[in-house]
Chain A
Amino acid sequence: MTVLRVVWSRVLGLTGHRHRDDDLDAEIRTHLELLEAKYVRDGLSTAAARAAARREFGGVEQMKEAYRDDRGWRWLEDAQRDCRYTLRSLARARGFAAVVVITLGLGIGAATAVFSVVNAVVLRPLNTPGADRLVRSLVVNNGRKSVFSDANTLKVWQDLTRVFEDVSAHRLDSVSVIDTSEPEQLSVGRISEPFFRLFSARVIAGRVFTADEDRPNGPAVAILSHALWMRRFGGDSDVVGRTIALGRVPHLIVGIIDRDFDTEQFEPLPDVWVPLQTDPEHVDGGSIYQITARLQPGETHAAANAALAVEYAKFNSTRSASDQSRRSGAWIAEPLQTAMAGDAPSSLTLLLGAVAFLLLIACANVANLMLVRADVRRREMAIRAAIGAGPHRIVRQLLVEALMLSLMGGVVGLAFAVLATRLILRLAPGSNPFMLGALAVLPRIGDSGAAVSVDWRVLTFAMLVSLGTGLAFGLVPSRRFSRRLTLQASLVQTNAAGSYGRRMSAPAILVIAEVALAVVLVVGAALLIRTSIALREVNPGFASEQVLTMRMAVSGTGFDTRDGISDLTRAGVERVQAIPGVVRASTTCCMPLETVWQLPFVMTSRAGQGLTQLGSMRFHGFAGWTFVSPGYFDVFRIPILKGRDFTFADNAKAPGVVIINEAMARRYWPNGDPLNDRLLIGRGMRVAYDEEPVRQIIGIVGNVRDTGLRDEARPAMYVPVAQEPDGVTVVNVKLLPVVWIVRTATPPYALGGQIKKALESSPGRLPVTRIRALTDVVSESTARTRFNTSLMTAFGFCALALAAIGVYGLVAYWVQQRSREIGVRLALGAEPASVAMTVVRQGMRLVAVGVGIGTIAALGLVQLIRSLLFGVPPRDPTVFISIPLLLGLVALGAVSVPAWRASRIDPLKTLRSE
């Protein structure tokens, strides 16, 4: 405590000097007067008494000095003095200070902006107590990871009671609420009983679900989210015990969940919660949901994964030896904190790398400015050294100056970061609620980035970066001065003209580094730009112009059956097609590029041979599976290469039919004619598929890249919705609302309102949501690439600009330093053009070295972003020729200005100015 008190009193001592000095003076004065009075009483004259008092008191000034030294800290007071001095000298060099602060602000700001996003997405802990012990299930199949598990995996997790507790399953569904005057589509969190316990949910009123309510065919109960409770029930606390109709099924409201409950497992947050009611004894691989659990106390992720590996090996033994997925599969328990960042870390690592380069360039630039300034101040420093400032003192002065500049840069950077963060967040589109298991480009950033804020981590980061940069560039010029500094030498040197053949100086090396870093960044940006262009030029297999899409949740409304959905479609299509400007309308289960179901199939012509066994399934292969209404291929302009399209006559009473794509025809009927074959789809997958009819292949359509523009089209099957077994349809539309697709003759959004109204007034009166043009669906599928590209391009531009400024600054400084020599040459008859050429040549020599180093570095570093590229080789010759050229041209521009100025130097003026 004593130490603290001394520290505190000393800190106080640093402030309010004047006041405290006055106090001390008063004390001394009183003391002297009392002493003087004593001597007068002893019989001395006034003058003699005063002298005696002074003598006895001792040296007043020495005492004050000692007093002050004890009062504050000497070095802190010195630092204060250094700061004041620095501020004064920077005020004299305002232009220099402004350039440094802005350059640093840019670098620090960009770094802080990217970091604050990293902070929100990766570092920010989950909003659940004990989140570090939570895990989720990841299923690897054929090398593809999926967050979705089936009943089989759930049972495995539930049985592993040694490592897991509170194993819960959840899934997001959509449902329409139609029993009121305001129909709306709600998101439904379908959860198993342990879920709320796992995530420590609190209820405002009522209770959470009981295990009894989570049984198969259990009661229809619901728990409201805080938002829905406020929105639809006005926060009425009597709502528990009443019912809410989800679809047409009344659900008893048993509780209301607290406002701040966010597990981050649902995007968007569910409006209402219902029990999952899955059947644990009915292991058939058909159900899909995500699994989360808590590790048992004392258990580790490694232990959990080892236990899962053992179970997976057991599961594998049920498969036939020929199944290729045996080797490339796994069950994994992934820490939830890591899992919630999704794919974002790959983007963010790229951006952090880029921003680090940018920061380095900014630092190099500033270091150069500091060096130039140090050169200019040689005389000042020499004088200070001559009148007694120690070398430490001078180095410290320079460091203080650098640190103050970098802290100012940090403040500017923080302000800039707040703006830049908004910009980054605007570039990142939100998640698509109907893309199962897919996270947004930047997950966890909240509503329009509300979760991204300047918290202590961000502040610490900005602070550390500022101090780090300050030390980095502050030490460069200090090293120069810590060598011997003599007044004479520096006075002589000040105006000494450098000669042409000087060895490489520190500023030159910094400029080379800057140019090299800029080359690397711009090459990265260029490769991503080429990737974006290549993606835009990919033909997805459908015509995306002039198509409008929207979603309609039919689950629980009576329209979720084969007949219901057929009637709904037929009535809706009729109304929509009556709107002038509409060419054709149809429905489908799945939006291309967003959802692709895969189902196993058997070719009946070869029913006995080449079958793969997996659990209860036997199949020839897996293929994409989409149910559609007649008109689907017409709306999407997918060409029918052979055979015929579906018609409304292909209904439940007619024989089963299926259309396959070209990729499937090529792969499975390389020689024969698929139109002579029939398919059995999904058999063994789930009980509902037992009712699947044997389907005649009636047509072959063009390939569609429906899993992503980067992926080659895979085998795909299309079936009419009017022939789907009810059991399949009911589950499917529960997961994903039906998609309406409408081809228009006009810009599609112009008809959005009319189409919405027509559909919502059709029988069923179901609300439609998420009205989007197909072009936007396509563009959203490449959002991550665009996000990476935009930011890399922005950083590339900044790097280019900073490098150009660096080159310009250095060459301009050379010219200024040598103006006398150049003036002499010109006076002696040198051609101005040749003077300019000399300057250009010298500047460009540095640039060439920088570009060379940068290009070589880039050739290596592109391997790191290989996985982000598409349609362009990492070492694309176009990029690797054009970008160095571009850098060269920009640098040439930067060099030309001072070169031109050099050629215009007036010899008389420069000579006179000495």
Chain B
Amino acid sequence: MASSEIPYGTLDLMVLKTLDVLGSSHGYGIARRIEQIAEGALALNQGTIYPALLRLEQNGWISSEWGLSENNRRARFYTITRSGRKQLTTATENWTRTVSILERLLRSQP
């Protein structure tokens, strides 16, 4: 099965959506969840979600606090904020619109 690269700019949206579903999770949990949903269709370097998490936190869309992971290690748990949910709605709409435009464009006959 061929796994594809993540389209530019979509990782943030994925992380946001995942946190919206999971409630609160650490980086590993988020990465696992994305991989499970993608069912191997995505080549994700799990490390790349940390810069994404930082960006989201700087924008105030998620918040974080320190806690203990399943293996009793220090881990940061991320939660989506209210403005994060709002952003998720907007981004989702944008994404859907972009995809439908692209679809129509790509299918159009010469």
The smallest beta-carbon distance between B67 and chain A, in angstroms, is 10
The answer to whether B28 touches A34, judged by C-beta atoms less than 8 angstroms apart, is yes
B85 within 8 A of A: no
Q: Mark B41-85, 1 if CB is under 8 A from A, else 0.
A: 000011110110011011110000000011101111000000000
The answer to whether A34 touches B47, judged by C-beta atoms less than 8 angstroms apart, is no
A54: nearest residue on chain B (CB-CB)? B47
Chain B residues near A56 (CB, 8 Å)? 45-46
Which stretch in A57-65, A288-296, A771-779 binds the other chain? A57-65
The answer to whether B58 touches A63, judged by C-beta atoms less than 8 angstroms apart, is no
Central interface residue in B27, B54, B58, by most chain A CB within 10 Å: B58
19 more contacts with CB within 8 A, not counting A28-B47, A56-B46, are: A5-B59, A6-B58, A9-B58, A26-B75, A27-B75, A27-B76, A30-B26, A30-B73, A30-B74, A31-B26, A34-B70, A35-B28, A35-B46, A58-B45, A58-B47, A67-B51, A70-B51, A70-B58, A71-B54
- In this complex, how many residues of chain A approach chain B with their Cβ under 8 Å: the count is 30
Interface residues of A (CB under 8 A from B): 1-2, 5-6, 9-10, 23-24, 26-31, 33-35, 37-38, 56-60, 62-63, 66-67, 70-71
Bound complex: CA A37 to CA B28 (Å): 12
Central interface residue in A2, A34, A62, A67, by most chain B CB within 10 Å: A34
The smallest beta-carbon distance between A22 and chain B, in angstroms, is 10
Bound complex: CA A19 to CA B58 (Å): 18
Bound complex: CA A67 to CA B28 (Å): 17
B75: nearest residue on chain A (CB-CB)? A30
The smallest beta-carbon distance between A158 and chain B, in angstroms, is 64
Residue among A30, A60, A71 making CB contact with B47, cutoff 8 Å: A60
Bound complex: CA A10 to CA B58 (Å): 8
Residue among A30, A38, A66 making CB contact with B51, cutoff 8 Å: A66
> B residues 77-103 with Cβ under 8 Å of A?
none
The answer to whether B54 touches A57, judged by C-beta atoms less than 8 angstroms apart, is no
The smallest beta-carbon distance between B43 and chain A, in angstroms, is 10
Bound complex: CA A66 to CA B45 (Å): 13
With A56-B45, A63-B50 as contacts: A30 and B59 at CB distance below 8 Å = no
The smallest beta-carbon distance between A61 and chain B, in angstroms, is 10
Central interface residue in A1, A26, A29, A31, by most chain B CB within 10 Å: A31
Bound complex: CA A10 to CA B59 (Å): 11
Chain A residues near B27 (CB, 8 Å)? 27, 31
The answer to whether B50 touches A28, judged by C-beta atoms less than 8 angstroms apart, is yes
Bound complex: CA A10 to CA B73 (Å): 27
Chain A residues near B55 (CB, 8 Å)? 70
Number of A-B contacts (CB under 8 A): 78
The answer to whether A63 touches B71, judged by C-beta atoms less than 8 angstroms apart, is no
The answer to whether B50 touches A33, judged by C-beta atoms less than 8 angstroms apart, is no
B46: nearest residue on chain A (CB-CB)? A57
Bound complex: CA A7 to CA B9 (Å): 21
Bound complex: CA A10 to CA B70 (Å): 31
Chain B residues near A10 (CB, 8 Å)? 58
Bound complex: CA A146 to CA B34 (Å): 87
Bound complex: CA A56 to CA B44 (Å): 8
With A2-B59, A9-B57 as contacts: A30 and B46 at CB distance below 8 Å = no
21 interchain pairs (CB within 8 A)? A6-B58, A27-B27, A27-B50, A27-B74, A27-B76, A29-B73, A30-B74, A30-B75, A31-B47, A31-B75, A34-B70, A34-B71, A34-B73, A56-B45, A56-B46, A57-B47, A60-B47, A62-B47, A63-B51, A66-B51, A70-B58
Interface residues of B (CB under 8 A from A): 26-28, 31-32, 45-48, 50-51, 54-55, 57-60, 69-71, 73-76
The smallest beta-carbon distance between A240 and chain B, in angstroms, is 61
Bound complex: CA A70 to CA B54 (Å): 8
Bound complex: CA A37 to CA B75 (Å): 15
Residue among A5, A24, A60 making CB contact with B58, cutoff 8 Å: A5
Query: Top 5 nearest A-B pairs by Cβ distance?
Result: A58-B45, A63-B47, A30-B73, A58-B47, A34-B28
Chain A residues near B32 (CB, 8 Å)? 38
Chain B residues near A59 (CB, 8 Å)? 45, 47
Residue among A5, A6, A34, A57 making CB contact with B45, cutoff 8 Å: A57
The answer to whether B60 touches A5, judged by C-beta atoms less than 8 angstroms apart, is yes
Residue among A6, A23, A30, A63 making CB contact with B69, cutoff 8 Å: A30
Bound complex: CA A398 to CA B74 (Å): 44
Chain B residues near A23 (CB, 8 Å)? 76
The smallest beta-carbon distance between B12 and chain A, in angstroms, is 12
Chain B residues near A5 (CB, 8 Å)? 58-60
Central interface residue in B50, B60, B73, B75, by most chain A CB within 10 Å: B50
The answer to whether B48 touches A63, judged by C-beta atoms less than 8 angstroms apart, is yes
The answer to whether B50 touches A26, judged by C-beta atoms less than 8 angstroms apart, is no
Chain B residues near A62 (CB, 8 Å)? 47
Bound complex: CA A705 to CA B57 (Å): 81
The answer to whether B73 touches A33, judged by C-beta atoms less than 8 angstroms apart, is yes
Central interface residue in B27, B28, B55, B71, by most chain A CB within 10 Å: B28
Residue among B45, B48, B60, B71 making CB contact with A30, cutoff 8 Å: B71
Bound complex: CA A6 to CA B28 (Å): 25
B87: nearest residue on chain A (CB-CB)? A2
The smallest beta-carbon distance between B83 and chain A, in angstroms, is 8
Chain A residues near B75 (CB, 8 Å)? 26-27, 30-31
Bound complex: CA A334 to CA B50 (Å): 68
Chain A residues near B70 (CB, 8 Å)? 34
Bound complex: CA A58 to CA B48 (Å): 8
The smallest beta-carbon distance between A295 and chain B, in angstroms, is 51
Central interface residue in A1, A23, A38, A70, by most chain B CB within 10 Å: A70
Bound complex: CA A62 to CA B48 (Å): 9
The smallest beta-carbon distance between B41 and chain A, in angstroms, is 15
Chain B residues near A71 (CB, 8 Å)? 54
The answer to whether B60 touches A2, judged by C-beta atoms less than 8 angstroms apart, is yes
The smallest beta-carbon distance between B78 and chain A, in angstroms, is 11
The smallest beta-carbon distance between B30 and chain A, in angstroms, is 10
Chain B residues near A38 (CB, 8 Å)? 32
The smallest beta-carbon distance between A709 and chain B, in angstroms, is 72
Chain B residues near A6 (CB, 8 Å)? 58-59
Bound complex: CA A474 to CA B68 (Å): 53
Chain B residues near A24 (CB, 8 Å)? 50
B61: nearest residue on chain A (CB-CB)? A2
Chain B residues near A70 (CB, 8 Å)? 51, 54-55, 58
Chain A residues near B50 (CB, 8 Å)? 24, 27-28, 63, 67
Bound complex: CA A27 to CA B51 (Å): 12
Bound complex: CA A568 to CA B95 (Å): 103
Chain B residues near A30 (CB, 8 Å)? 26, 28, 69, 71, 73-75
Chain A residues near B58 (CB, 8 Å)? 5-6, 9-10, 70
Residue among B46, B51, B54, B59 making CB contact with A31, cutoff 8 Å: B46
The answer to whether A26 touches B54, judged by C-beta atoms less than 8 angstroms apart, is no
The smallest beta-carbon distance between B66 and chain A, in angstroms, is 8
The smallest beta-carbon distance between A44 and chain B, in angstroms, is 17
Chain B residues near A29 (CB, 8 Å)? 73
Bound complex: CA A11 to CA B71 (Å): 34
Bound complex: CA A63 to CA B44 (Å): 13
B60: nearest residue on chain A (CB-CB)? A5
Bound complex: CA A57 to CA B27 (Å): 11
Chain B residues near A57 (CB, 8 Å)? 45-47
